[in-house]
Chains A and B, each alone.
Chain A
Amino acid sequence: MNTVADIDHELEVPTQFIVQHNQSLSWRGNKIFIINVGILSFSIAGVFALHGLWLILPFVGLEILILSVALYTCCLRNRYKEVITVGNEKLIVEKGLQQPNETWEFDRAWVNLELRDSKLLGHPSKLLVRSKGSQTEIGECLTDEERESLARSLMRTLHITLNKS
């Protein structure tokens, strides 16, 4: 679940759009779950190993590894955040996990928005902000519908039309 509101009315400037996943359990909570499952599973495998049935251990290890990677991937992905600030002069895009790792500044007057459908089957569309030769993708963690909703809201705020390809 991602957070982006489809705003029907024109927004005042400066306006901020914050695009982020919804995260209902912290990484710490996920770690507690992994440790809980790990203790149980390794205890079971350990008891069997003591009786000579050690081949259960590698399967438990592999499974807990996959579980950990899966939950870590979810949490890492969910920490991703994009902050799009529309000011009177500038449009600033900041991207990062805990803090802005990358920042782009565009002259608002020259900003162009493009929503590009993927040529590949089932792949997501891209929403690009560009101005004076530089560009960046925004709304990367959104679904196609959410991305278009963000594009509409930005379009109204910036008083521009959207290029769709």
Chain B
Amino acid sequence: MSTTTADEHHDDHHPSGIMRWITTTNHKDIGTLYLWFSFIMFFIGGFMALIIRTELFEPGMQFVDPQFFNSMTTMHAIVMIFGVVMPAFTGLANWLIPLMIGATDMALPRMNNWSFWILPFAFAMMLSTLFMDGGGPAGGWTLYPPLVLQTGDAFPFVIFAIHFMGMSSIMGAINVVATILNMRAPGMTLMKMPLFVWTWLITAYLLIAVMPVLAGGVTMLLTDKFFETSFFNAAGGGDPVLFQHIFWFFGHPEVYILILPSFGVISSIIPTFARKPLFGYSSMVYATASIAFLSFIVWAHHMFTVGMPLAGELFFMLATMLIAVPTGVKVFNWVCTMWRGAMTFETPMLFAIAFIILFTIGGFSGLMLAITPADFQYHDTYFVVAHFHYVLVPGSIFAIIAAVYYWLPKWTGHMYSEFWGKTHFWLSTIFVNITFFPMHFVGLAGMPRRIPDYALQFSDYNQIATIGAFGFGFAQIIFLGLVIATIRGGVKATDRVWEGAEGLEWTLSSPPPYHSFTTPPNVKGEWNWFTHQHYETVKTRS
């Protein structure tokens, strides 16, 4: 035993090497793991998209057989939803929520470790099904019976992989809820929380409410296949349409699980670069809660063509259109935040502005799809593909990219290259439109989705979309290079990083210490974005 005094210089000491990442319970480490996992899956899912687009470059069958094509559409969706967007937002939540609410870490750090490490195993299992007899799942991510029950050896592995993904999501959501409810700094009331924290609290609530529905649904598929139950088997007295109700009761809130944290990210970025406080903070919170509530009562708009009573069709049509109101409040508030602001256009702001414009286009096509008689024409066409890709790519993915650019200097302590950031932005924005905008036209002209071949009349727009997809894919390699370069070095970032940035995370050093706040910051008074009187932060480390 050596005897020293505690006044000696003291660094953050924590495990290093591979064991650091396997055994870590630190929110920043786990956030980093989630983000890298998501990034890797983004390239895997993107590669699948390029296979789809390559096959669709010309009419006729060129490169893959129809079964594999349908496996690609199914896997691409599952990977992008459960492997990219959800883990990316969980990674952002891990990194940012403790920093934003003034906590040292997440409330349940060991469970946090588990919820991440389940994911690589779940996706290894899911991707391995592509190499099994009968190929991977090819019935679409919606897993409708009886089609999905025709899956070969892969079927039980797909179900178990989905269970694992669900477990990971639920554990992540419980951790977020426990952290936000119990670990806010003194003085940080619910209505003083940053919008990103609010949107994640509501997202976690949605996750907890709907994930068991998916778990129950896929388990019933499993028992129908292997234990001779007849939940969805008409011959045994079951009803396959009931599965669609189950799936979309989960699936529609899932759509909001994928987009609500984006709203939080954009609500953080816009005020920073407009150098104005967020317009209508309270209305943003209530709008988010309203969207979450409405998400529970609109699921059957995915099933207009399945057949339901006229009153049901009317109810679901009107309830769906109602979602435009709180969403419109959000877009209005973001635009009002920018109105007469001292705006600058750094890369995160460019992605945020593109998000607002392009997500709104996706929202408008959603309104078109909400109109029941119109949906009878649009259903299962490329118009639907265009709609949800506008919501998810320039929506969720752009928000995630914007978040990375915005907080990367805080995470790494280095500024990224603005030149390469803007190059990435312009290439992504141009190519994302080249990819998905023509899909509106082929969809309206009647091109069905999930079909590897198509009529000659759709060739031109499909070729444009394929060129756009490859361009968008290559643009993301710039992003990968930029992230790696920023981690490795660069101009030192200041603690506050952005002139207009407000929030507790900016009061910490860049990069922040291993444990975030060793003394609780005291959040007093109302938001004051200019005088910094808002926070009376006791900083013990830098």
Q: Which residue of A lies closest to B237 (CB)?
A: A52
Q: List A143-165 residues whose CB lies under 8 Å from chain B.
A: 143-146, 148-149, 151-152, 155, 161-165
Chain B residues contacting A59 (CB-CB under 8 Å) are 211-212, 215-216, 219
B128 CB–A CB distance under 8 Å: no
Report the bound CA distance from A55 to B246 in whole Å.
11
Question: Is the Cβ of B517 less than 8 Å from the Cβ of A1?
Answer: yes
Assess whether B5 is in contact with A162, with CB atoms less than 8 Å apart.
yes
CB atoms of A148 and B6 under 8 A apart? yes
Q: How far is the CA of A37 from the CA of B219 in the complex (A)?
A: 22
Whether B246 contacts A152 by the Cβ 8 Å rule is: no
| A48–B213 touching, CB < 8 Å | yes
How far apart are the CA atoms of A110 and B5 in the complex, in Å?
A: 18
Q: Does A137 contact B (CB under 8 A)?
A: no
Residue of B nearest to A48 (CB): B246
Name B13's closest neighbour in chain A (CB-CB).
Answer: A144
* Chain A nearest CB, measured from B482 CB (Å): 32
B25 to chain A, nearest CB (A): 7
Q: Is A13 an interface residue (CB 8 A)?
A: no
A35, CB-defined interface residue at 8 Å: no
Q: Chain A: how many interface residues by the 8 Å CB criterion? A: 56
Give every chain A residue within 8 A of B215 (Cβ-Cβ): 56, 59
Interface pair B223/A44, CB less than 8 Å apart:
no
Q: A52-73 vs B: 1/0 string, CB under 8 Å?
A: 1101111110110011001101
Q: Do A164 and B181 form a contact, CB below 8 Å, given A63-B211, A70-B111, A143-B104?
A: no
The B interface, classified by DSSP as helix, strand, loop or mixed, is loop
Say whether A133 faces chain B, with CB atoms less than 8 Å apart.
no
A109 contacts B by Cβ under 8 Å = no
Partner of B246, one of A53, A117, A144: A53
The residue from B10, B15, B108, B223 contacting A70, defined by CB atoms under 8 A apart: B108
Which of A3, A53, A57 meets B242, CB within 8 Å? A53
Contact check, B181 vs A33: say whether CB atoms are below 8 A apart. yes
Bound together, the chains give a CA A153 to CA B215 distance in angstroms of 51
Kindly supply a per-residue 1/0 record for chain B positions 169-188, scoring 1 wherever the CB is within 8 Å of any chain A CB and 0 otherwise: 01100110110011111101
| Interface-centre pick from B7, B23, B178, B182 (highest chain A CB count, 10 A) | B182
- Given A3-B520, A56-B217, A122-B25, A24-B111 contact (CB < 8 Å): no
* Size class of the contact patch on chain B: 35 or more
Contact check, A51 vs B242: say whether CB atoms are below 8 A apart.
yes
Known: A59-B215, A63-B212, A164-B3. A145 touches B12 (CB 8 A): yes
Whether the pair B182, A63 counts as a contact (CB closer than 8 A) is: no
Is the CB–CB distance between A74 and B182 below 8 Å? yes
Query: What residues of chain A lie closer than 8 Å to B532, measured between beta carbons?
Result: none
- A44 and B182 within 8 A (CB): no
Contact B213 A23 (CB under 8 A): no
Complex CA–CA separation, A6 to B426 (angstroms): 49
Verify B216–A48 contact, CB threshold 8 A. Answer: yes
For window 503-537 of chain B, which residues contact chain A by CB distance below 8 Å?
A: 513-515, 517-520
A residues near B188, Cβ cutoff 8 Å: 24
Asked if B182 and A71 make an inter-chain contact with CB atoms under 8 angstroms apart, the answer reads yes
Encode B1-31 as 1/0 by CB contact (under 8 A) with A.
1111111001011110001100111000000
Judge whether A52 and B181 touch: CB under 8 Å: no
What sequence of 0s and 1s flags, for each residue 107-136 of chain A, a beta carbon within 8 Å of any chain B beta carbon? Answer: 000000001010001100000000000000
> Contact between B209 and A44 (Cβ–Cβ < 8 Å)?
yes
Query: For residue B209, which residues in chain A have a CB less than 8 angstroms away from its CB?
Result: 37, 40-41, 44
A5, B223: Cα distance in complex, Å: 57
Contact assessment for A45 and B216 in the assembled complex, using a CB-CB cutoff below 8 Å: yes
Which B18-52 residues have a C-beta within 8 angstroms of A?
19-20, 23-25
C-alpha spacing A92/B7, complex, angstroms: 24
List the A residue with the shortest CB-CB distance to B111.
A70
Residue in B5, B210, B515, B541 whose Cβ sees the most chain A Cβ within 10 Å = B5
B208 with A161: CB separation less than 8 A: no
For the complex, give the distance between the alpha carbons of A12 and B12 in Å. Answer: 30
Report Cα–Cα, A75/B212, bound state, in Å. 25
In the complex, what distance in Å separates the CA atom of A96 from the CA atom of B266?
Answer: 44
* In the bound complex, CA of A5 to CA of B538 (Å): 9
B103 at the interface (CB under 8 A from A): yes
* A122:B183 contact, CB within 8 angstroms: no
**Are the C-beta atoms of B181 and A71 separated by less than 8 Å?**
yes
Whether a CB of chain B sits under 8 angstroms from the CB of A83 is: no
Smallest beta-carbon distance A12→chain B, Å: 21
A63 touching B208, Cβ below 8 Å: yes
A99 at the interface (CB under 8 A from B): no
> Taking CB as reference atom, which chain B residue is nearest A116?
B1
Is B249 close to A, CB under 8 A? yes
Indicate if the CB atoms of B213 and A22 lie closer than 8 Å: no
Do residues A24 and B184 form an inter-chain contact, with CB atoms below 8 A?
A: yes
Question: Cα distance A1–B178 when bound, in Å?
Answer: 13
Task: Give the Cβ gap from A107 to chain B, nearest Cβ, in Å.
Answer: 21
B540 at the interface (CB under 8 A from A): yes
**Is A30 an interface residue, CB under 8 A from the partner?**
yes
Give complex CA distance A53, B1 in Å. 64
Q: Are B23 and A122 in contact (CB under 8 A)?
A: yes
Whether B231 sits at the interface, judged by CB under 8 Å, is yes
- Chain A 6-22, CB-CB to B under 8 Å as 1, else 0, gives 10000000000000001
Residues of B within 8 A of A149 (CB): 518, 540
B395 within 8 A of A: no
Query: 6 additional contacts, CB 8 Å, given A1-B102, A71-B182, A149-B518?
Result: A2-B104, A41-B209, A60-B216, A70-B107, A148-B10, A152-B6
Q: Which 5 pairs across A and B sit closest by C-beta, in order of nearness?
A: A56-B216, A59-B212, A24-B184, A165-B1, A59-B215
Residues of B within 8 A of A (CB): 1-7, 10, 12-15, 19-20, 23-25, 102-105, 107-108, 111, 170-171, 174-175, 177-178, 181-186, 188, 205, 208-213, 215-217, 219-220, 223, 231, 238, 242, 246, 249, 513-515, 517-520, 538, 540-541
